[in-house]
Amino acid sequence: MSVNAVIALKLCDGLPEIDADYIGADAGALWLAERGIHMRLAIGDFDSVHPEDMELIRRHAEEVIVLNPIKNDSDSESALRHALAMGYEKVWLACRMGGRMDHTWVNFRLAMMFPGQAVLYDSANRIMAYTEGRHVIGKDGYAFFSVFADERACISLEGMKYPLREAVIGRNDIYTVSNEIEQEEGVLTVHEGTVLVMQCSDRRKKDD
């Protein structure tokens, strides 16, 4: 089993190029099945999947879990929690951000709820939360590097166009947007709190 799991969500527009096992969440399971990608798990209420497509999903999944559509969590949260319970160390949520903003916001919250474990990914963005410690982060082709905090956090940035040293940021601080990693790697040190890092590009990579 890989240490990484990639969960394809509804409106997935591509997969990260990493060694990973695959999980399909709701219509994301159909997206994977249509491309012949084997899934360890397909999970969701499948309310956006036509009944005739469920057979295709079942042929490409080791296990299928059908959730009650009347539930208190989203399909993405259910899939993430199942993936972590299966033992994966890092779970990538492959989606297309900017569609339904309520779902996008939920996925941002999931990244903050599971720092270092949940990564949001689409063809133009990579988003993950970091807790206290020194983190070396690759540029990996992303043009911009932005940091945000829900609550008080203290950070330093090295190897960036706009370095910071023990800067205190909070919910209303947005000057940490659109920084840039100057070489191949930059260093984020979180002295206090938890921050959300968004690595973004202006253009999406070519869709599958």
pLDDT tens, position by position, 63-77: 999 998 877 778 899
pLDDT at 78: 94
Residue 179 lies in a domain: yes
Quote the pLDDT of residue 73: 79
136 exposed, middle or buried (CB, 10 Å; 0-12, 13-18, 19+)? exposed
Whether pTM > 0.85 for this model: the answer is yes
Total structural domains in the chain?
2
> Quick check: is 68 in a domain?
yes
Residue ranges making up the domain that contains 159 = 130-200
Q: Where among 88, 122, 156 does a domain terminate?
A: 122
Q: Is there a domain that residue 207 lies in?
A: no
- The mean pLDDT value for 155-179 works out to 97
- For residue 189, give the nearest of 160, 175, 204 by alpha carbon: 160
Residues 19 and 98 in one domain: yes
117 shares its domain with 150: no
101-146 tens-digit pLDDT: 887 888 899 999 999 999 999 999 999 999 999 999 999 999 999 9
Choose among 147, 162, 146, 126: nearest CA to 193: 147
The residue among 101, 122, 143 that closes a domain is: 122
Are 16 and 90 members of one domain? Answer: yes
Say yes or no: 29 and 117 in one domain: yes
